[in-house]
């Protein structure tokens, strides 16, 4: 009989990704024959643009199917640096760029490279589900700063100042934000930068993966372009997944000071060796080729956002916010808690509400608890137009059923 497997304390304490877990639940239900409208998805439902695929095919046929340098293909690193210089006005070279197997790997490697036990990572909530767990896995202590609807789901200078201690190692700032779609203005970023100016020991990780999916301009401004003095203690995370519909190609990139980039490259050399050569070839075409696909995608998501908001506005009990970026609604469901479903189940939390939608309406969404702020639901409009339409209408009917059930039973439970 084999000896028992010993799991490290860090791995045992780490929670599975809520979004990945939700995707598996939906897939299992669909495989069992249930028709589920999936509004959990955090990726474009459209295909990678044809000119990008053509570029990848050309590279493969030319034999570009081998290992690359651990930091990425030189041509791709140059293209990324040139994009940063052109768009953000920052003094950036290839030495300031590393390419990884998705943005998530680069966040993982950056925390692995810099965190020691007890180092604090300031994370505004709502947050992308993996930030706290990746920090914890590498010995860091997440410091969660609640940024509610009253402040537009954005970190304020006062909240940032209060969160910083001598042990603070990183601030993580995600704009446009997943799950809320909140986008920081240049003025708001400048105010945060002034706080950081007073605390030179704090580094900044800016997650800009939804940069071009912005509905109030061509792209969302970056903290580092607003405050270039932060470049020497910042890591800008980005990639091709969202704007170019390239999630499966697994290409992310990070820009920062050479000393940190070199350590991340060393760590990639000991883990994945390098990102996919074919994915990198495709990413190069994406960055230097026709950019009309990016604007077209943003306009498509804007139309889906508006359509979903219009339908969900008919739902009793939901409080809606129009996101300025990304492709999610973060819906306040507090007015519907305390009610009993037609099946007799008490809806006490946003997780209960998400399970009610899955079981009764056959619509999959994610609860706000996974993102650090309840009671909300994250509802994706990156799904197909048919899924957006059908899922939204099913949510409306499910809300009406809850309200009707409460009326029939004499009101909400205490």
- Read off the pLDDT of residues 265-286 as tens digits, 9 standing for 90 and up: 999 999 999 999 999 999 999 9
pTM: 0.94
Residues of the chain with CATH 3.40.640.10: 50-289
- Read off the pLDDT of residues 215-252 as tens digits, 9 standing for 90 and up: 988 899 999 999 999 999 999 999 999 999 999 999 99
Taken in order 344, 346, 347, 351, the sign of the CA dihedral is: negative
Taken in order 104, 109, 112, 118, the sign of the CA dihedral is: negative
For 367, the 3-state DSSP assignment is: strand
- Is residue 412 scored above 90 in pLDDT? no
- Is residue 340 scored above 50 in pLDDT? yes
Q: Which of 42, 78, 95 is nearest to 287 (CA)?
A: 78
The band of 414, judged by pLDDT with boundaries at 50, 70 and 90, is: very low
d(CA 167, CA 76): 36
Look at domain 9-47+293-406 and name its CATH class.
alpha beta
DSSP state of 2: P
Q: Which residues, in sequence order, are CB contacts of 6 under 8 Å at separation 6+?
A: none
Residues of the chain with CATH 3.90.1150.10: 9-47+293-406
What does residue 283 show for φ and ψ, rounded to 5 degrees? -65, -35
**Whether 375 contacts 334, CB under 8 Å:** yes
Question: What's the rounded mean pLDDT across residues 134-158?
Answer: 97
Q: In this predicted structure, what is the pLDDT of residue 40? A: 94
Look at domain 50-289 and name its CATH class.
alpha beta
Beta partners for 207?
174, 237
Q: In this predicted structure, what is the pLDDT of residue 224? A: 98
d(CA 42, CA 53): 21
Question: What's the rounded mean pLDDT across residues 132-141?
Answer: 96
- Is residue 209 scored above 50 in pLDDT? yes
The residue behind tokens 């930068």 is: 193
Share of the chain above pLDDT 70, in %: 97
**Helix, strand, coil % (nearest 5) of the chain?**
45, 15, 40
Q: In this predicted structure, what is the pLDDT of residue 15? A: 74
């Amino acid at each position: 009989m084999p000896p028992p497997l010993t799991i490290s304390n860090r791995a045992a304490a780490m929670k599975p990704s809520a979004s990945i877990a939700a995707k598996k639940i939906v897939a299992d239900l669909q495989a069992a024959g249930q028709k589920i409208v999936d509004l959990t998805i955090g990726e474009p439902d459209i295909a990678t643009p044809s000119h990008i695929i053509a570029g990848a095919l050309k590279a493969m046929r030319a034999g570009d199917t081998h290992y690359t340098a651990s930091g990425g293909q030189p041509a791709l690193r140059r293209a990324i640096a040139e994009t940063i210089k052109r768009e953000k006005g920052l003094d950036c070279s290839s030495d300031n760029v590393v390419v990884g197997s998705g943005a998530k790997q680069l966040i993982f490697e950056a925390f692995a490279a810099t965190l020691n036990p007890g180092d604090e990572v300031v994370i505004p909530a709502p947050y992308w589900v993996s930030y706290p767990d990746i920090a914890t896995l590498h010995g860091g202590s997440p410091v969660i700063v609640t940024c509610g609807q009253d402040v537009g789901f954005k970190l304020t200078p006062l909240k940032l100042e209060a969160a910083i201690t001598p042990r603070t190692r990183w601030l993580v700032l995600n704009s446009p934000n997943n799950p809320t779609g909140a986008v920081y203005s240049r003025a708001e970023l400048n105010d945060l930068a002034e706080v950081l100016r007073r605390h030179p020991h704090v580094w900044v990780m800016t997650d800009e993966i939804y940069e071009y999916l912005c509905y109030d301009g061509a792209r969302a401004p970056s903290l580092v372009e607003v405050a270039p003095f932060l470049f020497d203690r910042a890591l800008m995370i980005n990639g091709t997944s969202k704007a170019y519909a390239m999630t499966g190609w697994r290409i992310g990139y990070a820009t920062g000071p050479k000393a940190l980039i070199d350590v991340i490259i060393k760590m990639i050399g000991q883990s994945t060796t390098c990102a996919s050569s074919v994915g990198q070839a495709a990413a190069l075409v994406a960055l230097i080729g026709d950019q009309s696909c990016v604007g077209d995608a943003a306009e498509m998501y804007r139309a889906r956002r508006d359509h979903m908001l219009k339908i969900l506005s008919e739902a009793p009990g939901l409080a809606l916010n129009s996101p300025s970026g990304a492709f999610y609604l973060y819906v306040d469901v507090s007015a519907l808690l305390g009610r009993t479903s037609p099946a007799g189940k008490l809806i006490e939390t946003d997780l209960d509400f998400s399970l009610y939608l899955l079981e009764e309406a056959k619509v999959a969404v994610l609860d706000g608890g996974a993102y650090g702020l309840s009671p909300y639901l994250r509802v994706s409009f990156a799904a197909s137009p048919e899924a957006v339409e059908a899922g939204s209408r099913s949510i409306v009917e499910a809300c009406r059923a809850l309200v009707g059930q409460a009326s029939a039973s004499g009101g909400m439970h205490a």
